[in-house]
């Protein structure tokens, strides 16, 4: 027996994206974002409120970075989501280090092991927020999270996800199956 919960939205897992941007003076900022998703091989889309410093920066520079939050960077990542760059210098206060992306006009936060460099391709105004669509032009991965073959080892990343039901961060869990494969036994009946 299922119960109805009106429009209560439970679309888990949600990501913990750290959006890095520059303002008009070239000052770096970072914010925490959960309402985003990959929407094509090299595209990302997300919803962002108008009042954020990040929003202003994205509209100005048409570029940003996305760093994936990890367990060891949980507190800093949360801080990026509870204070606005309109009020304080989050980069200075958190102590993270910035280098400029070689591919887009946006900062790369050195401490995060995986960063996507993105160029805005579309901005839509919807329900009072902005919907941003961007192309991922390059991905930077720290050597510390590569395996012996030089490929990304997702286990080494220790990614966190956002649980909007309990407002908590959860670690991405164990491998339980193989995509494009495990369903084959049902397809073939064997």
Ligand X SMILES: Cc1cc2nc3c(=O)[nH]c(=O)nc-3n(C[C@H](O)[C@H](O)[C@H](O)COP(=O)(O)O)c2cc1C
CA-based end-to-end distance of the chain: 32
Q: Which is nearer to ligand X, 58 or 104 (CB)?
A: 58
Q: Which is nearer to ligand X, 35 or 108 (CB)?
A: 35
Q: Which is nearer to ligand X, 48 or 104 (CB)?
A: 48
CA atoms within 13 A on the CB side of 39: 14
Query: In b/e form, how buried is each residue of 1-26, taking b as 16+ CB within 10 angstroms?
Result: eeeeeeeeeeeeebbbbbbbbbbeee
List beta partners, residue 108.
99
| Binding residues for ligand X (CB under 6 A) | 29, 31-35, 47-49, 52-54, 78, 81-86, 162
The rounded distance, in Å, linking the Cα atoms of 180 and 177 is 10
Q: Which is nearer to ligand X, 31 or 63 (CB)?
A: 31
- Least distance to ligand X from the beta carbon of 103, Å? 22
With CB atoms as reference, the residue minimizing the distance to ligand X is: 81
Sheet with 160-163, strands from edge to edge, namely 14-15, 160-163, 168-171
Q: Which is nearer to ligand X, 146 or 169 (CB)?
A: 169
- Least distance to ligand X from the beta carbon of 150, Å? 32
- Least distance to ligand X from the beta carbon of 88, Å? 9
- Least distance to ligand X from the beta carbon of 146, Å? 28
Closest CA to 19 of 134, 126, 170, 164: 134
- Least distance to ligand X from the beta carbon of 165, Å? 12
């Amino acid at each position: 027996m299922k119960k109805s919960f009106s429009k209560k939205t439970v679309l888990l897992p949600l990501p913990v994206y750290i959006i890095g941007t520059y303002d008009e003076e070239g000052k770096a900022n970072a914010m925490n974002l959960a309402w985003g998703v990959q929407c094509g091989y090299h595209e990302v889309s997300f919803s962002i409120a108008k009042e954020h410093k990040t929003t202003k920066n994205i509209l100005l520079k048409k570029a940003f970075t996305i760093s994936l939050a990890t367990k060891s960077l949980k507190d800093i990542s949360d801080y990026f989501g509870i204070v606005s760059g309109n009020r304080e210098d989050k980069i200075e206060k958190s102590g993270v280090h910035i280098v400029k992306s070689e591919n887009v006009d946006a900062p790369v936060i050195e401490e995060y092991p995986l960063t996507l460099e993105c160029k805005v391709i579309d901005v839509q105004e919807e329900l009072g927020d902005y919907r941003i669509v961007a192309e991922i032009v390059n991905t930077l991965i720290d050597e510390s999270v590569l395996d012996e073959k030089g490929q990304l080892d997702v286990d080494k990343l220790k990614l966190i996800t956002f649980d909007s039901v309990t407002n908590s961060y959860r670690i991405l869990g164990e491998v339980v199956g193989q995509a494009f494969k495990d369903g084959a036994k049902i397809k073939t009946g064997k």
